[in-house]
Each structure stands twice: as C-alpha cells, then as structure tokens.
C-alpha cells in the first residue's frame, strides 16, 4: 500500500466501472449443451434470463435483454451454419459478462471439395 506524507494510510479508491452496477467478482459460471432444434433458441434465451436473475443481475434489465439478444443471435447462427449440437457458456466476473456459443463449425463448399 502506498503511504503519503502528512497522515496515515489512505483508503484504496473504489474500482470505477462507470455508472452501472457490475457483477461481483466470481459471480458465476454456467454452461449447457443444446440439440440442434429450432426451439432451443427460445430455451437458451429463457435459461440466460434465469441464470442472470440467479446471479442477482436482473436489476440491470438492459443487461439481461442484451444478453438474451446476443445468445439468440449466436444460437441461431450455430443452428443455421453447423446444424450440430452447440454449447452455451455464461461467465460473470470482474465486472464482465461473457456469453459464448461453441459449435462444431461449418464446412463450406470450398472445404467440402478439399475433403473429397
């Protein structure tokens, strides 16, 4: 801790993340795998909302809405491009919410030709 002359130790300043409340450090990690069905996009959005509410982040309605939209877009893309199972992962820590969707990838026409 840095000590300044003219007095005792000063308190550490509070972290500044802007005007919005942030998830607490280590708030959580959640992951689930989904089958390639159109209904899973709706299910994934609902699960994201429930998970963020469980982590106490529901007060930030815009955060929840944005996360739902992001997951909806990513899950739809995974279904349309890969047609395979995909994994949705949410991590909230250090003031950051991370949404990830991982699938097996998409094999385009150029790549299919190389395999033949």
Inside any domain, residue 69: yes
Q: 82 pLDDT band (50/70/90 cuts)?
A: confident
Over pLDDT 70: what percentage of the chain? 66
What is the arithmetic mean of pLDDT over 100-115?
61
Domain count, the chain: 1
Inside any domain, residue 16: no
The pTM of this model reads: 0.65
Neighbours of 98 (CB within 10 A): 11
Inside any domain, residue 9: no
Please answer whether residues 90 and 48 qualify as being in contact, where contact means their C-beta atoms are separated by less than 8 angstroms: yes
Can you give the pLDDT at residue 38? 82
The parent domain of residue 73 ranges over 28-100
Q: 41 pLDDT band (50/70/90 cuts)?
A: very high
Residue written as tokens 């998409």? 106
Inside any domain, residue 4: no
Can you give the pLDDT at residue 27? 66
Q: Is 111 left (phi over 0), alpha (psi -120 to 50) or beta?
A: alpha
Inside any domain, residue 47: yes
Helices 61-81 and 39-54 cross at an angle (nearest 10°) of 150
């Amino acid at each position: 801790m840095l000590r300044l002359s003219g007095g005792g130790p000063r308190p550490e300043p509070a972290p500044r993340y802007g005007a919005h409340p942030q998830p607490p450090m280590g708030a959580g990690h959640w992951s689930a795998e989904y089958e390639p069905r159109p209904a899973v996009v709706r299910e994934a959005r609902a699960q994201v909302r429930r998970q963020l509410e469980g982590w106490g982040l529901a007060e930030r309605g815009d955060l929840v809405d944005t996360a739902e939209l992001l997951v909806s877009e990513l899950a739809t893309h995974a279904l349309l491009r890969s047609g395979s199972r995909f994994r949705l992962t949410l991590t909230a820590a250090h003031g950051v919410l991370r949404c990830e969707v991982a699938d097996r990838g998409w094999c385009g026409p150029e790549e299919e030709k190389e395999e033949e």
